[in-house]
Structure 1
Amino acid sequence: MEITFKQLDPETDIPELSALAARIWNAYYPEVITQEQIDYMLGQSYNAESLKKQMTEDNHVFTGAYIDGKMAGYISVSTDGLGEYFIHKLYVDTSIHKKGIGKALFEFVFKDKKYTAIRLTVNRQNFKAVNFYFRIGFIIERVADFDIGNGFVMNDFVMVCKP
């Protein structure tokens, strides 16, 4: 299985990204959060307007992982310009978990970066993801709860990876 990587373009790649996100969230997250929260979060973060804003105004760099020309996963990262990075999103199609795609995305994005810290947030009940991040070198920095509106709260770990 050959994985190729490409920085996603806000003019051409949003429909495929949005469709993949919906498949992943609807297949994976019902065991972690309610369907109502899934629908709300998809509507807030994965509609075309929001994704375009993240890419063009918020300076989130999205990289897609492709297998046989089809997007299989993606990562979204921003930096403060001083060596600290934040992973906003790192997702892989649930039908191909445990194939090294998430780790390959992480390594592709950070292989040449000089960083002092990489942070991310992950749902505390998302044990598979938490364990994945442990395996690639992250530790739990703190517990955080984020009110995301509409009566929903994200109950997360803030995790950090340092060189």
Structure 2
Amino acid sequence: MGSPDIIPIGAGDLPRVADLAYRIWPEAFAGILPAERIPGMLAEIYALETLAADIAVRDHHYWLARRDGADVGFASAYCAEGRVWIKKLYLLAEARGLGLGKALIAAARVQLGPELPVALYVNDGNAPAIAFYRSQGFEIERRVPVRMGPYDFTDYVMLKRA
């Protein structure tokens, strides 16, 4: 097996991100989000024009995780409020537990501010993600209501100090 790679990407590679999201979300959010909500959320969040605006308007940076020549995950992040914010971090099920999530977080820190704390939002019912972030040194800072399109959720803001 080849070694994993984390590569920064631009707008031209965003279809790869959308493809991964459509493959990852139904499994990752099974039992967390109602199955009937997932297609609409994917269509809204991962529309190519939305992803492109992340880069062009919201100054987000994107990375792909690759293993054995195949895309297996992605992350996006930006700086605000003196923090590196991880906006998206998703891996295919078969790519979890290989250090790729940790490597994606590290890539964001290196590019956006190794001296800054890192923060993210995670659904308060997503026990596997919360456990992963805790294993990486994140702590729950607060619980917040979130509106995504027509949907309401409760998320945790998790923080890893610098």
TM exceeding 0.5:
yes
Structure 1: tracts of 5 or more residues without a match: none
**Bigger mean CA deviation after superposition, 108-117 or 2-11:** 108-117
Match of 1:124 in 2: 124
Match of 1:19 in 2: 19
Deviation at 1:14, TM superposition (A): 1.6
CA contact (8 A) 1:83 1:115 kept: no
**How far does the alpha carbon of each residue in 1:58-93 deviate from its partner, in whole angstroms, 9 at most, with x for none?**
11100111112211111100013x741111001111
**Whole-Å Cα distance in 2 between the matches of residues 31 and 97 of structure 1?**
18
Deviation at 1:107, TM superposition (A): 2.0
**How far does the alpha carbon of each residue in 1:133-161 deviate from its partner, in whole angstroms, 9 at most, with x for none?**
001010000001112232x1121101111
Percent identity reads 29
**Whole-Å Cα distance in 1 between the matches of residues 149 and 61 of structure 2?**
25
Structure 2: tracts of 5 or more residues without a match: none
Match of 1:8 in 2: 9
Runs of 4+, deviation exceeding 4 Å: none
How many pairs were matched up? 160
Deviation at 1:111, TM superposition (A): 4.1
Paired letter, 2:109: F
Paired letter, 1:76: S
**How far does the alpha carbon of each residue in 1:9-57 deviate from its partner, in whole angstroms, 9 at most, with x for none?**
202x122111111100012212211123212221111011111111221
CA contact (8 A) 1:84 1:115 kept: no
Q: RMSD over aligned Cα, in angstroms?
A: 1.6
CA contact (8 A) 2:109 2:118 kept: no
Deviation at 1:116, TM superposition (A): 3.2
Paired letter, 2:154: N
